[in-house]
Amino acid sequence: MKRVCDRLAGAIMRRGGREDADMEVVSYGLQCALVTILEFVSIVILAALLGMLREILVISAAFVTVRHAAGGVHFSTFLRCLVSSVIYIISGGFTARFISGLPVVWGMLYLAGGGTFTVYAALRYAPRENPNRPISEKEHGKLRAISVAMVGVLLTGPLIDLLYRGNALWYHHSLVTGLLLQGFTLTDAGYRTVKFAENKLDKGGGVANEES
């Protein structure tokens, strides 16, 4: 994939008359875009085959919305990011489906606990950076405020519905699951988990992320 993106980046640079020094930046952007597209397509296809497309779409939307500002841990290669993201989101779909099958009281406890954890994670850890996305001191406070606000806005909908109607529990469980998955990627435990996986895969190699 890198070779293909390098060639595309080179062609773009030549047509635009820019310096070759920018080619790596363009290539990296193309790789990110390609991985994102592959992740989305893979997740949607698997979700449709597993019969939980609507849950996965809500989980993905909540996850990506907060991640855009809050950041979080990444694997060190695009292939690992692709595979881990698909597994991570699909596992969230199974979790949401399982919670929806439990008695209502357990579902309510899940919503309360998941919402509380995500707010805590955003307040305590967001935004978190990695070498591919450095965050300046000036941006830090702004991104934290945006992250917390996004979590608050996303949780407001389920809260209002539960107070007045409460007939869309599958949606609430899916949304909170997406927030939980993203919240975990912000925590030290999330960073340690990815580092452990990287070490196992590399037999001693590291992960390109912020130190925890």
Do both 82 and 181 map to the same domain? yes
Do both 191 and 169 map to the same domain? yes
What's this model's pTM, rounded to 2 decimal places?
A: 0.85
Do both 82 and 7 map to the same domain? no
Do both 184 and 96 map to the same domain? yes
Q: Number of folded domains in the chain?
A: 2
Do both 79 and 171 map to the same domain? yes
81 is a domain residue: yes
Do both 18 and 122 map to the same domain? no
102 is a domain residue: yes
What residues in the chain have per-residue pLDDT under 70?
1-14, 16-29, 130-133, 166, 204-212
Contacts of 78 (CB under 8 A, 6+ apart): 1, 2, 31, 32, 34, 35
Go through the chain and tell me how many residues it has: 212
89 is a domain residue: yes
Write down the pLDDT at residue 206. Answer: 47
211 is a domain residue: no
Do both 27 and 56 map to the same domain? no
Ramachandran sector of residue 17 (left: φ over 0; alpha: ψ -120 to 50; beta: rest): left
Do both 192 and 103 map to the same domain? yes
Do both 23 and 69 map to the same domain? no
Do both 24 and 77 map to the same domain? no
Q: Could you list the residue range(s) of the whole structural domain that residue 25 is in?
A: 1-39
